[in-house]
Amino acid sequence: MLLLLRRRLKFSPSSLLLGIFTGLCRAFAAPERVAVFVAAVLCFLVSGCDREQGRADLVFINGSEPELLDPALITAQPSSRIAYALFEGLTVFGPDAEVRPGVASRWEVSEDGLVYTFFLRREACWSNGDPVTSADFMYAWRRALLPETGSEYASQFFPITHAEAFNSGKISDFSKVGVSASDPHKLVVRLDNPTPYFPDLCAFATFLPVHKATAEAHSDWASRPAHFMGNGPFLLKEWRLFDRVRLVKNPRFWDADAVALASVDVLPAARPMTAFNLYATGAADIMMDKGLAPTSLMAELRKRPDFHAAPFLGSYFIRFNAARVPFSDGRVRRALSLVVDKQELVDKITRAGETPASSFVPPGTGHGYVPPAGASRNPEQARQLLSEAGFPSGKGFPVIHYLYKGDSDLDRDIAVELQGVFQKELGIQMLLKPQEWTVYLAAQSALDYDLCRSSWVADYNDPNTFLNMFVTGDGNNRTGWSNASYDGLIAQAAREPNQTRRFGLFQEAESILISKEAAICPLYVYVGIQFYDGDRLEGIRPNLLDEHPLRFMRWKKR
């Protein structure tokens, strides 16, 4: 019966039963330890049903179900982790998140820092044997910049000459954009201003190449293994929704001899108890998403030898919908920000060593950037601001909704805490609106929310990766907030060659963002958490970008 259910629904029995059981435990208030033990036994009993096609060399739990694996449309880390295994950019992230040569074996930079010339490997090829050429990158970058594509990360290309004008529709001739390829194995990129982190950008998911013939022949190429074409260390063998993604080693990858894993199974499991049960029973080898550790068990989990934690450049924060009344009033946004007890959140809810955020850009970003400190908790000032906005003691304030990921227990617990503090300190009634991951992302992008849970992990080690996203019209803004002074400071910083003055401009801009305007409310700085046996599995190292490429992982020889 379980096998029949699996074939029809394409769910694994263990994942399905674990999800049902965890939900029942929560519904009947069963102790968390009991839930772990009984679910572990349940998983063991049904795990044999999951061996129809054999266990992969490595099984890892990746968090939410991935989106389309289209580089132009990827917006979240669960998808990018898989994309980095299936594609290779001009550059790649190494185990320490350092930038290494990828398809480009080397590159040269002009003396003024405005022209990058990348030299592509002649041995690099697509999974069907076609050579990877400079035209593949030009096609992918043009596609990501086209306004009709709707890439939320299109702004990553804006350091390139005329890229922003092309994306906004001001020009339609891509030949005017600063990307050219006079040779199939040479790509020349011209920038408006020196951008020292440009090689880091080239390793990012949006910059990955796309096989033109495949993309134009099959509209579903980014989600169907039969049509998928990659150039990375692994191939997309199978994708069963809400069950697993199976990756196998790509024999045509130019550096295939250095890839140790023959196969990898990527499991979607967004609920912490379900995810940890899968790991604890041996159904998975590694759990690597920052939000998957059960916070109720954190004190005990931190004592385990397979618990690994390290700070990285990631912020958890609240977005306010500034395009919607009453959040169009900065005094309302500031009032809500001033009553949140961030220390209480990390002490009582997250409990993994996170740091309360006094800024949006995490300390340590950019090798010397010192972010400005936002306002401290001040409920009395918050009540005064709310009164000035026309809502004394919360009277007349509309009932509001808080959008968050419904499959995240951590997000739910934080939402409940915020709900209580807004009611207690400001007399504001907030209803909780949990949504499935893809629905949550769509609602956020469409500004269909009042407040929403948000997070941001650095794409590269520079303050710009955090602050540029709130420029007017940026695809990742998702707040409806616009400020001309802020936009001007970010633009000025992009042109400033002196690092000290550049950081000063960023500090001024960040003060507008989190203090003067309170377009967002930073809550805490992330700690990266992974569970794996470090005595057996290698190639995973703590780093500031929380990037752990599968191509570098291997089992130690015994």
For residue 37, CA distances in Å to 157, 268, 274 come to 49, 21, 12
Residue with tokens 């807004």: 422
Kindly tell me the burial class for residue 328, based on how many C-beta atoms sit within 10 Å of its own C-beta (0-12, 13-18, 19 or more).
middle
**Amino acid occupying residue 193:** N
The length of the chain, given as a count of residues: 558
CB burial of residue 548 (10 Å; 0-12, 13-18, 19+): buried
Domains and CATH numbers, the chain: 2-64+237-288+532-536 (3.40.190), 88-217 (3.90.76.10), 310-527 (3.10.105.10)
Q: Is 552 helix (H, G, I), strand (E, B) or coil?
A: helix
- Determine the Cα–Cα distance for residues 361 and 230; give it in Å rounded to an integer: 34
Report how far apart, in Å, the C-alpha atoms of 480 and of each of 131, 347, 451, 470, 473 are.
43, 32, 12, 9, 8
Position 76 scores a pLDDT of 86
Tell me the pairing of strands 537-538 and 554-555: antiparallel
Q: What is the pLDDT of residue 120?
A: 98
Q: For residues 132 and 120, is the Cβ–Cβ distance under 8 A?
A: yes
Between the alpha carbon of residue 171 and those of residues 162, 176, 185, 302, the distances in Å are: 8, 8, 27, 54
Q: Tens of pLDDT along the chain (558 residues)?
A: 333 333 223 334 444 444 444 444 444 444 444 444 444 444 434 343 343 468 999 999 998 888 889 999 998 889 999 999 999 999 999 999 999 999 999 999 999 999 999 999 999 999 999 999 999 999 999 999 999 999 999 999 999 999 999 999 999 999 999 999 989 999 999 999 999 899 999 999 999 999 999 999 999 999 999 999 999 999 999 999 989 999 999 999 999 999 999 999 999 988 888 999 999 999 999 998 767 888 888 889 999 999 999 889 999 999 999 999 999 999 999 999 999 999 999 999 998 889 999 999 999 899 889 999 998 999 999 999 999 999 999 999 999 999 999 888 899 999 999 999 999 999 999 999 999 988 999 999 999 999 999 999 998 999 999 999 999 999 899 999 999 999 999 999 998 989 999 999 999 999 999 999 999 999 999 998 899 999 999 999 999 999 999 999 999 987
CA distance 275 to 279: 6
Which residue from 521, 523, 489, 524 is spatially nearest to 321, judged by alpha carbons?
Answer: 521
Residue owning tokens 């796309």: 210
Give the end-to-end CA distance of the chain in Å, rounded to a whole number: 40
